[in-house]
Chains A and B, each alone.
Chain A
Amino acid sequence: NAGVMQNPRHLVRRRGQEARLRCSPMKGHSHVYWYRQLPEEGLKFMVYLQKENIIDESGMPKERFSAEFPKEGPSILRIQQVVRGDSAAYFCASSLDRVPYEQYFGPGTRLTVT
């Protein structure tokens, strides 16, 4: 049973480019969460999605960031016009519908903006 998959594992972008981070939840999981870990900090919640719906995006920066979880395919976290401050590790987690508190994390995508 495969765990949460994230790709790419490492991503380098120049300032102003777009970054697309992908997350495939565990089989049977319909809830996806994105968290960001800045250097020397803990993980901070960004957004919570169910299939085709954004449930809570209270942790997302208001501009340049967007997320989706389509009916088919992985969840995507998109960062437009990246800046150096976006350099961080981005983790995806997934859970079953009935146990949202048991979140299983992927290995993360480490984004570096040069």
Chain B
Amino acid sequence: AQSVTQPDIHITVSEGASLELRCNYSYGATPYLFWYVQSPGQGLQLLLKYFSGDTLVQGIKGFEAEFKRSQSSFNLRKPSVHWSDAAEYFCAVFTGGGNKLTFGTGTQLKVEL
């Protein structure tokens, strides 16, 4: 069965520092991968997605992610974090069999000023 692991529950970075959030997936076929961001009390906003092609994908708000098949990873990165990036980030994989998204447990990002 498919699964998504986000090993870091909480991460704290200083404003202006670089960020990398880890995501590993387990899925037999070629995955469709997503990163979502959830601000407190809000719904989920799609940051970026990977279906095929170039393994480095660009998203909104200056985020990017790199798909590495050999490592079953899809890590999210940002070169310089802003205080407004503080939120919870979810990695997800789409499984075509049931048209469902399988989510990781999320990483809570705190930004220190």
Contact = CB atoms under 8 A, between A and B. Distances in A.
Indicate, yes or no, whether A interacts with B.
yes
Given A42-B6, A108-B43, 20 more contacts: A33-B101, A35-B101, A42-B104, A42-B105, A43-B92, A43-B103, A45-B101, A55-B99, A59-B100, A91-B43, A93-B101, A95-B99, A100-B94, A101-B99, A102-B46, A102-B49, A103-B101, A105-B44, A106-B43, A108-B42
A41 B113 CA distance: 27
Contact of B99 (A35, A40, A56, A106): A56
Contacts of A91: 43-44
Interface string B1-38: 00010100000000000000000000000001000100
Say what secondary structure dominates the interface of chain B. Answer: strand
Interface of B: 4, 6, 32, 36, 41-46, 49, 51, 90, 92, 94, 96, 98-106
Contact of B90 (A42, A106, A110): A42
Interface of A: 4, 31, 33, 35, 40-45, 48, 55-56, 58-59, 91, 93, 95, 100-108, 110
Nearest to A31: B99
Contacts of B45: 105
Contact of A44 (B46, B94, B103): B103
Given A43-B90, A107-B42, A48 B104 contact: no
Nearest to B91: A42
A33 B98 CA distance: 11
Given A42-B90, A43-B90, A105 B102 contact: no
7 closest residue pairs by CB, A with B: A42-B103, A101-B94, A45-B100, A107-B43, A105-B44, A100-B99, A42-B105
B38 to A, nearest CB: 9
